[in-house]
Structures are given as structure tokens and as C-alpha cells.
């Protein structure tokens, strides 16, 4: 038993003595390892402001997962409908997230119609995303509308993305 311990200590000392000559840095350096994940799927949501609307659409997300400052880019296209006021809307949007627990920042190009009057505009949005659930708040800047146009100006949206397609790509 003493011979085995002596042999183990001798081998470890020999290995540590030559460790300066061996270069394991490239083997242990995982700071450059990246994983790209592309996700695509439909979403369902609820927009609440002065008026309530239900949303349906599709979203594409590109995540660049790495140890330091991962990023996510997303593009979505969808429509929303307010049943009580008969208002239809279309949204084309983009949002960006830098980091793991940070906020999302984006903008939507919007079109709203009550089948008599139309309005186009944009909506800057700020949100927070946990898993597939994404909550955003924003303000609709619309073209000239009538005073009784039943569209939200300040709003909150809660969306859930049902991921149908996922693609992984390792980079080193």
C-alpha cells in the first residue's frame, strides 16, 4: 500500500513539474465556444390597454449563446383583433436582448383599421422574456386618426411562443 501511495505522489509531482511545458490552455479555454440556436413558431397573446385585443402570429428567434453576453434577435409578424370594437391590426416587429436577465428592446411597425378609418405607425417596446413567455409594454405612435378610433396608445402585451422548429449550430 505504501508503494502505491509513493508511486502516485511521484507521478503527480512529475506531472506538476512538467506542467509549465505543457500547454493545456487551448483545451481548457471555453470562453470562445458559442452555440447558435434558431427557433421558429406561432405565438398567441393578449394586448391590454384602454382596449383589449387577442393576438396571433409567428416569431423567429436567433440566439447566440456564449459564456459572456449572449444575445437574442427576434422578428415577428402577426395580427390582433378587438372583438368589442371591431378593430383589426397587423404588427411587424423586431426585438433584441443582450445578456441573460436583461430587458428586451424593440420596435413594431403597425397598421390598424376599424373598416372605416385606417392608421399606420410604429410602437417602440420594452419587455422581459422568461422562457417562451414574453411581456412587453409600449406606446403606439399612429398617423392621424379620428377622436373615437378604438386603438390603444399605451399598452402591455403578454405573448407565449409555441416553438415548432429548433436548429442548433456549435461554433468554436
pLDDT (tens digit, 9 = 90+) per residue, 90-141?
999 999 999 988 999 999 999 999 999 999 999 999 999 999 999 999 999 9
CB-based contacts of 106-112 (< 8 A; 24+ apart in sequence):
106/74, 106/136, 108/138, 110/140, 110/142, 112/87, 112/88, 112/140, 112/142, 112/149, 112/151
What's the rounded Cα separation, in Å, for the pair 113 and 46?
18
Q: Quick check: helix, strand or coil at residue 4?
A: helix
pTM: 0.77
Q: What is the pLDDT of residues 34-91, one digit of tens each?
A: 899 999 999 999 999 999 999 999 999 999 988 888 999 999 999 999 999 999 999 9
> For the CA atoms of the chain, what is the radius of gyration?
26
Amino acid at each position: 500500500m505504501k508503494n502505491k501511495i509513493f508511486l502516485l505522489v511521484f507521478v503527480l509531482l512529475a506531472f506538476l513539474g512538467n506542467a509549465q511545458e505543457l500547454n493545456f490552455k487551448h483545451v481548457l479555454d471555453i470562453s470562445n465556444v458559442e452555440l447558435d440556436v434558431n427557433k421558429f413558431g406561432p405565438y398567441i397573446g393578449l394586448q391590454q390597454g384602454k382596449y383589449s385585443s387577442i393576438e396571433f402570429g409567428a416569431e423567429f428567434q436567433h440566439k447566440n449563446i456564449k459564456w459572456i453576453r449572449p444575445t437574442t434577435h427576434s422578428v415577428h409578424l402577426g395580427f390582433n383583433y378587438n372583438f368589442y370594437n371591431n378593430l383589426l391590426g397587423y404588427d411587424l416587429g423586431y426585438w433584441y436582448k443582450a445578456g441573460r436577465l436583461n430587458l428586451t428592446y424593440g420596435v413594431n411597425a403597425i397598421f390598424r383599421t376599424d373598416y372605416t378609418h385606417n392608421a399606420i405607425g410604429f410602437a417602440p417596446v420594452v419587455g422581459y422574456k422568461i422562457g417562451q413567455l414574453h411581456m412587453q409594454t409600449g406606446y403606439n405612435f399612429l398617423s392621424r386618426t379620428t377622436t373615437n378610433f378604438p386603438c390603444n396608445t399605451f399598452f402591455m402585451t403578454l405573448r407565449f411562443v409555441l416553438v415548432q422548429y429548433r436548429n442548433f449550430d456549435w461554433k468554436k
